[in-house]
């Protein structure tokens, strides 16, 4: 990973490839890399779909090595959804393969003058770019099947579906998993629209003939990796709960805690929660011959995912994540698990963010476009998006756009991005993260749910304002750093609770790069990333007024605890004072 691959899609005479040394970006990976390049090279006032924007695809610092959990990919750009900087994170095989091919980043620049659709193939021999208009408007599963026929099954694909080609705000970028299914998405913020604006349908990756990245100190690295894996296995969350039930184990607990946004954030508990819970889903998956435990990339030892089969025992989709089940489930009043799985498949296939799609449908339901609880109507609406009908185009603009078009007053977005599956009034720490993250409302940016609800990393009462600023600050810093390593964020449960597992992570980085990184160094890295991102947003026109939740979260109470979001504005402005 000692070079950057730049592809100018707008070059005269067709796309032009240059490979440059790392230069000032040396030592960076993942989110640190994407945010550094975007903040340095993209004019903050540019239109996100213009030739001036760049799409940066970066494996983490440890991706492509044998380190467990290191296969997360960062995708960065100026977001068409938020208008600010974006880092969207994905599992799947791509990060490991790009790392092994030697690239610390792939940067798509410029914009083709024609409507042609391009296919980029990267392997040990280099980069090949060709026009392939036969791929136009292919959904992700069909696209990958076609690439498999053309290039064999040793490949991994990064691709956009029709939503990305139509440059929708909610368009995702799909990454294939170990079974070559396009089930892992850099979903948030409309990164797929930026890829579409560059005219790139897919990047086909093949690392045949390449080897694992070699650490500076192989012995120390091996030892650190062993301690790291032991720590993950020993922690009850990463060792038992996540593999057994997946992320959807959260449905019941959030509903019990009164923090499960239901009917477009109108109440905090959902009567149908148990029907769509992780417990129910795991049982069903086993019964139908699917899998309740599955890894999204080689090297994952937590394996929080699964395989969801339909009633007849045929593959339908990967195990939908908690946030997906919520977005299409309780938030839309839907308690039919098979419909939710179908919506997950459609989202992946058309290439849209499941969170934004579900939140948008709930806003549309509030507008009377469909009835809460009507699963078939929700499926039809997603199909409209896939077709690109006029209604589909509006919904494809996301929750904020849809709310405006249909005159809906209560639209749960921050910086234009829909809130995920935790009501900020009843889980106030994550409310602080929603308000202040440079990404817009994003739970992963500082997952205070862990400490507010799950009692991991201590306990801060979710229902009171005290302690939430500090909690969110620390988590946002830690997350920015973890997102730069290529590690899956689910290592956080173990490293928050077990100092020796955190040390093992430091030792992995140190043994690989020959560094002497300490805990303070990790904090400094996280702060640096956040500062770059906030600086970009400031230059793009963001002020503290954008670091706020919509007013109604402070003025309207949420049942059953009858709580409002009461963290003070002046305190929100202190999150980034360090």
Contacting positions for ligand SF4 (CB under 6 A): 69, 91, 295-297, 300, 302-305, 488, 490
Q: Does 489 bind other proteins (CB under 8 A)?
A: yes
Q: Does 278 bind other proteins (CB under 8 A)?
A: yes
Question: Residues 489, 71: contact at Cβ < 8 Å?
Answer: no
- Residues 42-61 interacting with other proteins (rule: CB under 8 A): none
Determine the Cα–Cα distance for residues 260 and 329; give it in Å rounded to an integer: 11
> What token pair was written down for 491?
């290592």
Q: Does 459 bind other proteins (CB under 8 A)?
A: yes
Residue 249 interacting partner from ligand SF4, other proteins, none (CB closer than 5 to 8 Å by kind): other proteins
Determine the Cα–Cα distance for residues 43 and 56; give it in Å rounded to an integer: 14
In angstroms, give the least distance from the CB of 516 to other proteins: 31
Backbone angles phi, psi at 8, to 5 degrees: -85, 105
Length of the chain: 578
In angstroms, give the least distance from the CB of 123 to other proteins: 35
Question: CB-wise, 48 or 278, nearer to other proteins?
Answer: 278
> What token pair was written down for 12?
């005269």
Handedness of CA 418, 420, 423, 427 (dihedral sign): negative
Question: CB-wise, 98 or 460, nearer to other proteins?
Answer: 460
Stretch that binds other proteins, among 105-113, 177-185, 447-455, 539-547 (CB under 8 A): 447-455
Determine the Cα–Cα distance for residues 291 and 362; give it in Å rounded to an integer: 30
Q: In what order do the strands lie in the sheet with 16-21?
A: 16-21, 3-8, 103-109, 55-59, 73-78, 85-90
Residue 296 interacting partner from other proteins, ligand SF4, none (CB closer than 5 to 8 Å by kind): ligand SF4
Residue 303 interacting partner from ligand SF4, other proteins, none (CB closer than 5 to 8 Å by kind): ligand SF4
Do β-strands 3-8 and 103-109 pair in parallel, antiparallel, or remain unpaired?
A: parallel
Please list the residues that pair with 77 across neighbouring strands: 86
Q: Does 41 bind other proteins (CB under 8 A)?
A: no
Question: CB-wise, 78 or 235, nearer to ligand SF4?
Answer: 235
Determine the Cα–Cα distance for residues 549 and 558; give it in Å rounded to an integer: 15
Q: Pick one of 34, 79, 140, 248: the residue that binds other proteins (CB under 8 A).
A: 248
Residue 300 interacting partner from other proteins, ligand SF4, none (CB closer than 5 to 8 Å by kind): ligand SF4
- Residues 305-344 interacting with other proteins (rule: CB under 8 A): 321-323
Backbone angles phi, psi at 381, to 5 degrees: -65, -40
Question: Residues 268, 423: contact at Cβ < 8 Å?
Answer: yes
572's CB contacts (< 8 A; 6+ apart) are 432, 435, 436, 469, 544, 547, 548
In angstroms, give the least distance from the CB of 296 to ligand SF4: 3
Please list the residues that pair with 129 across neighbouring strands: 120
Q: Does 250 bind other proteins (CB under 8 A)?
A: yes
Residue 244 interacting partner from other proteins, ligand SF4, none (CB closer than 5 to 8 Å by kind): other proteins
Residue 256 interacting partner from ligand SF4, other proteins, none (CB closer than 5 to 8 Å by kind): other proteins
Question: Residues 371, 365: contact at Cβ < 8 Å?
Answer: yes
In angstroms, give the least distance from the CB of 517 to other proteins: 25
In angstroms, give the least distance from the CB of 63 to ligand SF4: 11
> What token pair was written down for 360?
């948008």
In the complex, which residues of this chain contact other proteins (CB under 8 A)?
235-238, 240-242, 244-250, 252-253, 256-258, 269, 274, 278-279, 304, 321-323, 443-444, 447, 449-450, 453-456, 459, 461-463, 489-490, 493, 560-561
């Amino acid at each position: 990973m000692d070079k950057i691959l730049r592809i100018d899609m707008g070059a005269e005479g067709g796309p032009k490839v240059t490979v440059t040394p790392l230069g000032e970006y040396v030592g960076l990976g993942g989110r640190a890399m994407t945010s550094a390049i975007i903040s340095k090279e993209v004019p903050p006032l540019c239109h996100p779909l213009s030739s001036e924007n760049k799409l940066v695809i970066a494996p983490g610092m440890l991706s492509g090595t044998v380190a467990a959990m290191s296969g997360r990919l960062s995708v960065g750009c100026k977001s068409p959804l938020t208008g600010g900087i974006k880092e969207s994170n994905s599992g799947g095989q791509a990060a490991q393969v790009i790392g092994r091919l030697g690239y610390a980043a792939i940067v798509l620049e410029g914009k083709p003058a024609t409507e042609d659709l391009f296919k980029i193939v990267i392997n040990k021999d280099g980069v090949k770019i060709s026009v392939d208009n036969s791929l136009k408007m292919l959904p992700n599963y069909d696209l990958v099947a076609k690439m498999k026929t053309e290039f064999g099954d040793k490949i991994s694909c990064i691709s956009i579906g029709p939503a990305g080609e139509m440059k929708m705000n909610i368009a995702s970028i799909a990454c294939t998993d170990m079974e070559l299914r396009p089930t892992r998405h850099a979903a948030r913020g409309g990164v797929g629209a930026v890829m579409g604006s560059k005219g790139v349908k897919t990047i086909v990756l093949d690392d045949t003939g390449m080897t694992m990245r070699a650490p500076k100190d192989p012995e120390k690295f091996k030892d650190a990796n062993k301690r790291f894996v032991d720590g993950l296995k020993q922690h009850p969350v990463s060792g038992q709960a996540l593999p057994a039930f997946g992320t959807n184990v959260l449905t019941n607990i959030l509903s019990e805690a009164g923090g499960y946004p239901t009917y477009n954030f109108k109440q905090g508990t959902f009567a149908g929660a148990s029907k769509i819970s992780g417990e129910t889903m795991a049982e069903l998956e086993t019964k139908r011959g699917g899998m309740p435990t599955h890894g999204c990339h080689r090297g994952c030892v937590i394996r929080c995912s699964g395989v969801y089969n339909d009633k007849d025992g045929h593959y339908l989709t990967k195990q939908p994540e908690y946030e997906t089940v919520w977005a299409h489930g309780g938030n839309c009043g839907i308690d039919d698990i098979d419909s939710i799985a179908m919506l997950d498949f459609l989202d992946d296939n058309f290439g849209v963010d499941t969170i934004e799609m579900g939140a948008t449908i709930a806003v549309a339901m509030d507008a009377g476009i469909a009835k809460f609880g009507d699963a078939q109507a929700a499926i039809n609406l997603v199909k409209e998006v896939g077709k690109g009908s006029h209604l589909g185009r509006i919904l494809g603009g996301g929750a904020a756009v849809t709310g405006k078009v249909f005159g809906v007053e209560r639209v749960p977005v921050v910086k234009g991005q829909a809130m995920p599956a935790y009501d900020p009034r009843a889980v106030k720490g994550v409310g602080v993260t929603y308000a202040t993250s440079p990404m817009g409302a994003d739970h992963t940016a500082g997952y205070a749910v862990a400490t507010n609800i799950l009692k991991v990393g201590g306990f801060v009462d979710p229902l009171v304002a005290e302690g939430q600023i500090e909690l969110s600050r620390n988590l946002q810093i830690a997350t920015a750093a973890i997102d730069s390593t290529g590690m899956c964020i689910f290592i956080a449960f173990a490293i928050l609770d077990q100092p020796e597992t955190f040390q093992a992570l430091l030792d992995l980085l140190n043994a690989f790069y020959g560094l002497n990184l300490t805990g303070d160094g990790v904090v400094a890295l996280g702060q640096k990333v956040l500062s770059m991102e906030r600086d970009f947003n400031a230059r793009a026109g963001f002020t503290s007024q954008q670091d706020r939740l919509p007013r109604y979260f402070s003025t309207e109470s949420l049942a059953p605890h009858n709580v409002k979001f009461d963290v003070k504005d002046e305190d929100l402005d202190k999150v980034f004072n360090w």
